[in-house]
Structure 1
């Protein structure tokens, strides 16, 4: 019987990492088509036929469930393990590096099997998701005792409760607490297109009109974990999705039906009319409803707690393409590490929600002046309140991740610790509110502070209900505090203190009957019973005691009785453990319901906590590093006094070796919109370029900036072409990559853009490179008319300042001392006279013979330029290859008189008098 095989890429090759697929995608089409009852199909050659009669009932159940999830690994729950069979087991064993074993036979062949413990499943899930797999989690839906009632060989009912994909993770152990985990979808409907995204762990849902040409930059901004596309659209988008590091999932066209999508959205948000949520184009409806349908399917109908979708207009934020984000190292370095990025330097937040918000601010700076000023005012408020800032940050440190805990409650995937986190979060938020309540707050902080109150009843209920250290899972029990439920306390006492309860009852009965030797005992036949001697039994069988004690058994030495109370107690004791667990689960469900009754307000609280944290964190940064509030306006000026590169400055401070040299930058619409920057390598040109782009970005993120003064006209786009790198996988040389990125800038930059360009044209011949750089500079000046910093080693370009009215020369100053170059790292107006390349090569450690030869060739080239020497052939004839300097090391020069004298001296044999005479002798030779 054929079994659903793994995709070809998994059969013969190592499992793909996130965002890398060896085939089109990890398709979900077959499953969705089954769901919509359209056709019964599988992907490629995947198929599962009905099991034959020889297969066991358990394996038949596995195969039937697997048939519905052909493209996912099936985690099949068996007791304390999730087990995988057939090709699922082979693929999982290879990916997880676990033992592949076997279980029984099927059609004469061994059935491959592997398994992972349920208690450690999350770690294995994360590993599989990162390697490109989807996992269908199949749980036992009934107690095995219930199955046995149907017959000894009955199989426990099982069903898939969740489909785990990269974009649908909610557990803390599977997520980075300080990063969002977006699930995105890109949809095109006729001439409209939309990108929508959601973080299922927080419920944040957004959408934005997105022309296909903008998909790459937008995915680079969002860094989603998974991107959904319609069947047939993957060929056009897979490369872009892979470049963004996301997993691609292909779904049937009907998932994105914009007509049916209206009803889906209204149902999900509980509204009667879509206009109550905002304005949506057909593409917007298709994208948002597609996300909702996918979430409903993967979560088995249990939607997360979604916030109302927010439309992000393109003009709301600064446009930054993927190459610029990479070059500026906003959230990770070129090596892919967070440490050393801009975010790592500026992030001083103390809550996970605050860190996620700050990351969004850095990756999505605003263009809206009012929003920027509101954020900057919040930062400035805390700058003037150091004591309050410290107290608020101390209180915020105690706050758990309310957003994600609330999300798990909504998905019925939470535990007692999530409820405790919410209770503690509410209590800590009240403390933050108390600290801010008496202050004259700017609007942003005032609105945020107002959202932190009003949860007293819920906080008291959670505090009263939960113990201080609850277990992870509700089914483990023991999380309800004593005194919260009288019935639960009774069941718990019976479960945990049955002996003491029986002892107290025995004492009561002994006193009532006045028989001190009366005992309550237990055996497997009678259960609990009261035993007394035959002598005392007559008293118990006469009035009034015979109304209480009921005779059960007479033995040779004793008589046994029971009571109605003892019988009820016995039943309670026997059922106490199960009943206690059931009561705790009822309490848990009730508390979850109360939390969800406050869901909207708790979401607002979580957002407000993040706002306060970011403002206080950026204030802490500004005060510690000497940053200032920038002045933003609607002009096109870019005036920075004593600007600094935040990352480089932090690295220098960590080394404590030197001081960062601050520099000015003045680009004005009335004078110089473009600076042509010259100077040697290693002098700091690239640092200067990047620092100004980062200052603009930080300013529009609402942060203070590393400068003595900053006046910035709103920037609409930031473009960076810095550094050299090839793209061999796409057949692009270093020069081709440079030209593609330059073309993107010249074709897109508007008059409010800020462009930084470094060494345009270096990857080709001198004259080709010079001509390209020349034409690029003219285009920026005449066509784009934007603000730009243009670094170059083509000194011929400095003459263009006489022709281009809004271009001025600037240079990074150096000093030459005894043949060596000293970098001053100071930028000033003017042009460099040369590049000092040979001196920099000397610093890099090139062999002395190469340096000497380079000097000779350089002098000849420069002399030829001065003399109008245009024929390179003549120059080569004048300088035959290596004629000036032999390839071997230079021959040593003749020894001087001083060297001859010193070579003949044996220092250890000199007496003090001889050493003094030697010094006089050497001194006399210096005079001669």
Structure 2
């Protein structure tokens, strides 16, 4: 015999079966409940109690739940741990279900599937980062990548063959990647940090995708949006299909899709992004990245735009110059820039507020965000009038013309509305007469009744008339039998309706009093109902202006970023670079923005350096030698970052810079293995180097650090040598090549365009002082043993290392050909005996006097006397 599930549990199981692969949040009153395997998994993930409810097939049913009002925090935890959540709401009032019978179940259905790429709630999102959902489609010999952020409405697509997918995913960092079943892109998705979701192949049909897009935008053809390939239509169609499925038909407000042209941005692969720490530090997180060091934006939209610009620097020369013009104009007027930034600080995240309203997940504060953003926008537009750079002028134009909507929202909303519409209290007094009266009844019912009583007493000519209330009759009019005779006779009998006679009193009612009673009893619910109706009307008004509001939000982000770049340039002494179509790369006094920021916190100065990677029209390669810890990697990286900043439209950390357009940026810096793929550190190095040599064109910028160090000395040297020759003769690109193989400095005499440079050091009393200054020339030593001593290796190890190094160097000078022979001649290593305590050094009178001084205790007169005393002691010591 088996247990028959209860009607409620049968409903749960049916909904669960219809939504495989997701935890089911099953609404029961004020809680979302989970049962069976979902409960076990959720209880462990959320660290909440696991209980039981009834039995199924003879076994207790595991159960856990979370409060509805706190569901968002639990959803965030589950999403971060890789879960998908189906939310099943009650679709009717439980009272309606009870009317159908004791065993009737409240109707429930899934209203939304929450996945990493479909988040809209403010508490689930990072305000300053996009939350992209991406889809990759392959149609015959074509492939494309589409991506959307439903929290802002951004929707883009590009041709993307499989070899380009990894770099593009690294750029976008999507939270979720949609692929066709059997696509086998798990590794790429994992490397990009994206959850991968497989969809049936039919979701990627290009013809169906075109129809879905036409239906979404209400058009007959997509020609007005541009020309799209079959693969692009398939990728966009898959995105729309997935959104329709997860949002249960409540589609987000998506902007028309933009096609990103191939070659429009600087190409940066995943390894280079990681090595340069563009948006994320190697240690994880944002702090320590270029983005964190330069982000002075004051709006969420501006911060997201900055990340896009840094992740994909432009190759459109006109666009770069226009952005630089805007920054330069604001640099020249710091007062205006300060005013703009102060106004922008009061601009809320209109993009995400608009998205929530479109999905019917918004509240009164989202309407207030529209009002505040457009109000500040109008003020900003007024400041940006007259002769203004084109980018700022265009942005200002998008901020004008919203007066009617702002007036409506300003008249309708209180200054500080509540979060949820269901709480009421967000509509301003005087906006709706019916609401004002209902609120008066709700809040001042006794006063309204008193006023009606005085009115009736005057009309009846009965000063003693009273309006009273009891639980049986509700509100009624009461007077004595003597006075009642007048009210029972015409014409008053047509107003006052006899209701009840008692021993000493006669009671009446009126149509007006009955209606008032109903309104008083229902005033609270009626007030909420009126406010919900007003909210719906305001929401509709905002959505009618959605396109214009979206443009205004983008304009504010553009202005914010230009103002932020200007503030950064002014505060840090950055300059406007010359960017053109040449292959020049000349930087005077360049600095590393992240390292300089860290040094400033330590009150230390950064040593600026020059870099010139051109000889006439011929690109140059600098071969950089010098010890570890001297700053070679910093020098390499800073020049790459200067190129990124310049093509992002920012000023750069240098006294002067002339940069020809960089088409591709490659970096092979640092050492890391890839154990998951069975790759050693050396193998990773070689794979990344191969990618550079196979892809770099003559407008690329390449920075390489210590190629060949993961193998034997002669193998490593030969590989590094061949790589350098290939960069020079085949790729013909601009490059910085750091190495410890001093033998390679001979290449400067063999290859035109190769120059030697070194990071200067100074030795003083056995110590190595790093000057961090890059000079022309070659280093003669690596100072590895000195660096090892600075790192804290035991003294015995350092001494033995010096001994071996001296033997090898002397053998090399004497023409030895077999290092093994040199090593055989070394005396055997013997551990040094424990060091005996060193005798105390003799302390001079001067040193003794200095030890006895406590500067903080000296008066000015005592300090002056002490100077004469120390001068005398110095003479004695001499």
Q: Same fold (TM over 0.5)?
A: yes
* Structure-2 change in CA distance of 1:695 and 1:561 (3 Å): same
What corresponds to 2:664 in structure 1?
717
SS in 2 for 1:497: helix
Give the distance between the partners of 2:520 and 2:98, measured in 1 at CA: 24
SS in structure 2 opposite 1:757? Answer: strand
2:119 to 150, 166, 169: 169
Counterpart of 2:483 in 1: which secondary structure? helix
Q: Which residue is 1:117 aligned to?
A: 67
1:214 alignment counterpart: 164
Would the alpha carbon gap of residues 228 and 669 (structure 1) be closer, same or farther in structure 2, given more than 3 Å must change?
farther
Alignment partner of 1:493: what SS? helix
Instruction: Measure the CA separation in 2 of the matches of 1:668 and 1:901.
Output: 58
Match of 1:641 in 2: 588
The 8 Å contact of residues 672 and 807 in structure 1, kept in 2 or not, is answered as no
Alignment of 1:870 with 2:817, yes or no, is: yes
- Of residues 548, 551, 558, the one that matches 1:601 is 548
3-state SS in 2 of match to 1:532: strand
Deviates more, 1:176-185 or 1:138-147: 138-147
Matched with 1:136 is 86
Q: Does 1:320 align with 2:268?
A: yes
Quote the residue 2:861 is aligned against. none
Find the aligned partners of 2:94 and 2:444 in 1 and give their Cα distance: 28
Contact 1:849–1:888 (Cα < 8 Å) also in 2: no
State whether structure 2 residue 583 is matched by structure 1 residue 666. no
1:523 equivalent in structure 2? 470
Choose which of 309, 327, 341 in structure 2 pairs with 1:361. Answer: 309
| Runs of 4+ residues deviating >3 angstroms | 669-672, 886-893, 898-902
Q: Which residue of 2 aligns with 1:305?
A: 253
**Number of the residue aligned with 1:916:** none
Q: Please name the residue that 1:379 is paired with.
A: 327
After TM superposition, give the deviation of residue 298 of structure 1 in Å.
Answer: 0.7
| 2:854 alignment partner in structure 1 | none
Preserved CA contact (<8 Å) 1:727 1:733: yes
SS of the residue corresponding to residue 446 of structure 1 reads helix
Using the alignment, how far apart are the partners of 2:836 and 2:100 within structure 1? 100
Q: In structure 1, what is the equivalent of residue 56 of structure 2? A: 106
Question: Within the alignment, does 1:768 sit opposite 2:715 as a pair?
Answer: yes
The superposition leaves residues 571-591 of structure 1 with CA deviations (integer Å, 9 ceiling, x where unpaired) of 222332222222211111111
Q: Deviation digits for residues 782-832 of structure 1, max 9, x if unmatched?
A: 111110000011000001111111111000111111111111111111001
1:821 corresponds, among 765, 768, 781, to 768
Aligned equivalent of 1:254, options 202, 209, 217: 202
SS of the residue corresponding to residue 315 of structure 1 reads coil
Secondary structure of the structure 1 residue equivalent to 2:263: helix
| Structural RMSD (CA) | 2.3
Q: How does 1:562-577 map to 2 (within 5 A)?
A: 562-577=509-524
Contact kept, 8 Å, 1:849 with 1:890, in 2: the verdict is no
Is contact 1:101–1:114 with CA below 8 Å preserved after alignment? Answer: yes
User: Match for residue 472 of structure 1?
Assistant: 419
Does residue 434 of structure 1 match 2:382? yes
| Cα drift, residue 382 of structure 1 | 0.3
How far apart, CA to CA, are the structure 2 residues paired with 1:553 and 1:900? 116
1:414 maps to 2:327: no
Whether 1:74 aligns to 2:21 is no
Are the counterparts in 2 of residues 433 and 453 from structure 1 also a CA contact under 8 Å? yes
TM score, norm. by length of structure 2: 0.94
What is the SS of the residue equivalent to 1:682? coil
Residues 849 and 889 in structure 1, CA contact (< 8 A), matched pair in contact too: no
Whether the aligned pair in 2 keeps the contact of 1:815 and 1:822 (CA below 8 Å) is yes
Q: How far apart are the structure 1 equivalents of 2:64 and 2:437?
A: 43
**In the alignment, structure 1 residue 679 sits paired with structure 2 residue 645:** no
Q: Which runs of 5+ in 2 are unaligned?
A: 852-871
Alignment partner of 2:79: what SS? helix
TM-superposition CA deviations, 1:277-328 (whole Å, max 9, x none)? 1111110010001101111111111211111111112200011111111111
Shifted more, 142-151 versus 115-124: the winner is 142-151
The secondary structure found in structure 2 opposite 1:268 is helix
Is the contact between residue 583 and residue 619 of structure 2 (CA under 8 Å) also seen in structure 1?
A: no
Q: How is 1:792-831 mapped onto 2 (pairs within 5 angstroms)?
A: 792-831=739-778
Q: Alignment partner of 1:193: what SS?
A: strand
Q: What's the offset of the Cα at 1:923? A: 12
Task: Check whether the contact 1:342–1:647 (CA below 8 A) recurs between aligned residues.
Answer: yes
Q: Shift of residue 152 of structure 1?
A: 4.0
1-structure distance, mates of 2:549, 2:844 = 88
- State whether structure 2 residue 100 is matched by structure 1 residue 150: yes
Q: Which stretch of structure 1 is more off in the superposition, 250-259 or 476-485?
A: 476-485
Alignment partner, residue 914 of structure 1: none
Query: Shift of residue 121 of structure 1?
Result: 0.6
Is the Cα–Cα contact under 8 Å of residues 625 and 742 in structure 2 kept in the other structure?
yes
* Aligned-partner Cα distance in 2 for 1:112–1:182: 35
Give the SS at the match of 1:639.
Answer: strand
Q: Equivalences for 1:469-618 in 2 at 5 Å?
A: 469-618=416-565
Shift of 1:891: 6.8
The Cα of 1:352 is off from its aligned counterpart by 0.4
Deviations 1:50-99 (A, max 9, x none): xx983222222212211210211111111111111111111111111111
Match of 2:233 in 1: 285
Q: In structure 2, do the counterparts of structure 1 residues 889 and 753 end up closer, same or farther at CA, with 3 Å as the change threshold?
A: farther
Residues 720-729 or 197-206, more deviating: 720-729
**Residue in structure 2 matched with residue 271 of structure 1 by the alignment:** 219
Instruction: Tell me: CA distance 1:608–1:834, structure 2 relative to 1, closer, same or farther (3 Å).
Output: same
The answer (yes or no) to whether the contact 1:636–1:669 under 8 Å persists in 2 is: no
889 and 811 in structure 1: CA distance in 2 versus 1, 3 angstrom threshold:
farther
SS at match of 2:522: helix
Question: How many residues are aligned here?
Answer: 856
TM-score (norm 1): 0.89
Q: Take 1:731 and 1:864, find their aligned partners in 2: how far apart are those partners?
A: 39
CA-CA distance at 1:534 after TM superposition: 2.9
Aligned residue for 1:159? Answer: 109
Does residue 352 (structure 1) correspond to residue 300 (structure 2)? The answer is yes
Q: Which runs of 5+ in 1 are unaligned?
A: 2-51, 909-919
Q: Any idea what the Cα deviations from partners look like across 1:596-625, whole Å, max 9, x if unmatched? A: 111111110000000000000000000000
Q: Structure 1: how far apart are the matches of 2:372 and 2:875?
A: 82
Task: State the secondary structure of the residue aligned to 1:202.
Answer: coil
Give the one of 243, 250, 256 matched to 2:191: 243
Return the alpha-carbon distance in structure 2 between the equivalents of residues 660 and 458 of structure 1. Answer: 51
Counterpart Cα distance in 1 of 2:499 and 2:3: 54
1:22-37 mapped onto 2 (5 Å cutoff): none
- Distance in 2 (alpha carbons) for counterparts of 1:498 and 1:115: 41
Partner of 2:800: 853
Q: Deviations over 1:448-475 (max 9, x none)?
A: 0000010111001011111122221112
State the partner residue of 2:860.
none
Kept in 1: contact 2:153–2:252 (CA 8 A): yes
Q: How does 1:445-464 map to 2 (within 5 A)?
A: 445-464=392-411
Q: Determine the structure 1 residue equivalent to 2:867.
A: none
Distance 2:82 2:109 in 1: 23
* Equivalent in the alignment of 1:778: 725
Query: Matched residues in 1 for 2:424 and 2:94: separation?
Result: 20
Q: For the residues of structure 1 that align with 2:465 and 2:546, how far apart are their CA atoms? A: 58
**In the alignment, what sits opposite 1:917?**
none
Question: CA shift at 1:899, angstroms?
Answer: 5.9
